[in-house]
C-alpha cells in the first residue's frame, strides 16, 4: 500500500511533463519558414507588351499584420536572418542580373492557419516616391490540405508624363483607424456583380465620381496588379511569373521540438 502511494506523485509529475510537451508540440506544429523575393522585370519591351486596365480598384483588407523584427507576439510573423540555401542562391543570381530589379526580399517564420483565418501581410518595396513605394499591396500565406499563397500586389510606374487619375490606398498604420473609402474610377465596375457583392459587405461605403489624390503624390503613368492564387508544396521553389514583375517563394515546415 505504501509503495503505491510513493509512486503516485512520480506518475503525476510524469503526466504533467507530458502535458506540457504536448502543448509545446501543438503550438509549433504549423510553424513554417518562408523565403520570398519580389522583383521587377526591367525589359523595356514589357512596358507596352500588354494593355493594362486603368480602372484598378485597390483596397487593403481589415485583417492584416506586418513583418516584425522579433518574436513579439505568437500570432505575428517575425523576420529571421537565415534563409534557405537554395533560395539564397537564386536570389543572389537575381541581384546580379541587369534584367531584374529586386524590390522586396525577406525571410520570416509564421504559424500558418486556414485561408479564412490567415491575416494579410502588408508589403512595401522599391523606391519611395512621395508617400508611396514602387511596390505595395499584401500577400496571404495559409495552409489547409496544401500550402496556399494569395497575392494582391501592385507595381506603380511614376513619371512626369503621368496624371493623378489613379487612386493608391495608403497602408493602414493601426488597427483602430477607419478603412479608406476608395473612389470608383470606372462606371462599368459599379455595375458589375463584384461591386454589388462589395456593397453588400460594406453598406457604409459611399463612392465618389472623381479620384481622391493627395497633392504630394507623384504623377502615375501605370499601375500593374498581380492578383493570383497559387497552391504550393513545402520545400519547393515556386515562381509566380508576370510580364512586369514576379515572385519567388519557398516555404519550409519547421520540425516541432521533440517532447
* pLDDT for residue 119 is more than 80: yes
Of residues 208 and 104, more confidence is placed in: 104
Give the residues across from 65 on adjacent strands: 121
Radius of gyration of the chain (CA): 23
Written as nine digits, the cell of 196 is 454589388
pTM across the whole model: 0.72
Pairing of strands 220-232, 78-79: unpaired
Instruction: State the pLDDT at residue 42.
Output: 83
Q: What does the mean pLDDT of the chain come to?
A: 77
Instruction: State the pLDDT at residue 49.
Output: 55
Written as nine digits, the cell of 250 is 519557398
* pLDDT for residue 25 is more than 70: no
- Each residue of 42-68: pLDDT tens digit? 876 665 555 555 567 888 998 999 998
Written as nine digits, the cell of 23 is 502543448
Average pLDDT over residues 106-127: 94
Q: Name the residue among 247, 226, 64 with its Cα closest to residue 140.
A: 64
Instruction: State the pLDDT at residue 217.
Output: 65
87 pLDDT tier (thresholds 50, 70, 90): very high
| Range from 121-125, 139-143, 177-181 carrying the lowest mean pLDDT | 177-181
Of residues 216 and 131, more confidence is placed in: 131
Alpha-carbon distances, residue 228 vs 138, 150, 231 (angstroms):
11, 6, 10
Amino acid at each position: 500500500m505504501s509503495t503505491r502511494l510513493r509512486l503516485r506523485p512520480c506518475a503525476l509529475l510524469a503526466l504533467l511533463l507530458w502535458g506540457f510537451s504536448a502543448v509545446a508540440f501543438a503550438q509549433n506544429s504549423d510553424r513554417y519558414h518562408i523565403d520570398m523575393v519580389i522583383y521587377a522585370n526591367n525589359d523595356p519591351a514589357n512596358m507596352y507588351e500588354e494593355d493594362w486596365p486603368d480602372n484598378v480598384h485597390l483596397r487593403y483588407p481589415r485583417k492584416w499584420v506586418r513583418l516584425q523584427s522579433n518574436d513579439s507576439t505568437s500570432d505575428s510573423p517575425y523576420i529571421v536572418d537565415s534563409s534557405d540555401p537554395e533560395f539564397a542562391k537564386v536570389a543572389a543570381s537575381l541581384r546580379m542580373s541587369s534584367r531584374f530589379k529586386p524590390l522586396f526580399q525577406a525571410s520570416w517564420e509564421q504559424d500558418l492557419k486556414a485561408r479564412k483565418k490567415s491575416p494579410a501581410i502588408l508589403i512595401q518595396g522599391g523606391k519611395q516616391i512621395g508617400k508611396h513605394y514602387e511596390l505595395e499591396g499584401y500577400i496571404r500565406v495559409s495552409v489547409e490540405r496544401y500550402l496556399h499563397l494569395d497575392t494582391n500586389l501592385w507595381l506603380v510606374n511614376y513619371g512626369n508624363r503621368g496624371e493623378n487619375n489613379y487612386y493608391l490606398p495608403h497602408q493602414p498604420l493601426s488597427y483602430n483607424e477607419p478603412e479608406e473609402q476608395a473612389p470608383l474610377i470606372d462606371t462599368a465596375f459599379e455595375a458589375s456583380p463584384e461591386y454589388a457583392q462589395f456593397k453588400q459587405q460594406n453598406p457604409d461605403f459611399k463612392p465618389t465620381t472623381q479620384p481622391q489624390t493627395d497633392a504630394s503624390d507623384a504623377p502615375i503613368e501605370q499601375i500593374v496588379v498581380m492578383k493570383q492564387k497559387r497552391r504550393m508544396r513545402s520545400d519547393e521553389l515556386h515562381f509566380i511569373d508576370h510580364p512586369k514583375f514576379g515572385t519567388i517563394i519557398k516555404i519550409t515546415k519547421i520540425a516541432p521540438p521533440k517532447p
